[in-house]
Amino acid sequence: MRIGTGFDVHKLKEGVKFMLGGVEIPFIKGAVGHSDADVLMHAICDALLGAAALGDIGVHFPDDDEKYKDISGIEILAKTYGILKSRGFRVINVDSVVVLENPKISKFIYGMRQNIAGILEISVDDVSVKATTTEGLGFIGRGEGVAAKAVVLISNED
């Protein structure tokens, strides 16, 4: 078995769609990036790739490659999982936390868990998504950005 960790952060900007865990969150601001800037999916992808010692999301989906412009976090996670599966890995579980001041996302978390579990071919009971704030501190506390951290456990089927 192998453990991997991932982290991602994106700036928030008014008038941009806010995608988180493959769910569109209604809010005045959204995350800005080359892709759909889904920090949760990106953190999980980095954790998966790291656990398998396969580099990071930037190696596989570089932000200077136009074919990844506006790619969804769902698609990035599916492609990442395909890379792992092709090397004989399976996912045991995912634990993650989203760090943002607003909006409150608790009513969207189950949908995020379902999206992640479906792509990774695991039970929704094996996917944890939590949320926290920075109590008004720093760029996240000022509503300027959003971050996510993830830890995954994978195993090699061979």
Tell me the pLDDT tens digit for each residue of 39-81. 999 999 999 999 999 999 888 887 787 777 778 899 999 999 9
What six digits make up the tokens of 129?
């998504």
Distance CA 140, CA 157 (A): 39
Q: For residue 106, with 0-12 CB atoms within 10 Å meaning exposed, 13-18 middle and 19 or more buried, which class applies? A: exposed
Question: Given the DSSP bridges, would you call strands 89-99 and 127-132 parallel, antiparallel or unpaired?
Answer: parallel
**pTM, whole model, 2 decimals?**
0.94
Residue 28 has pLDDT above 80, yes or no: yes
Write down all domains in the chain, each with its CATH number in brackets.
2-156 (3.30.1330.50)
Total Cβ atoms within 10 A of residue 13 = 15
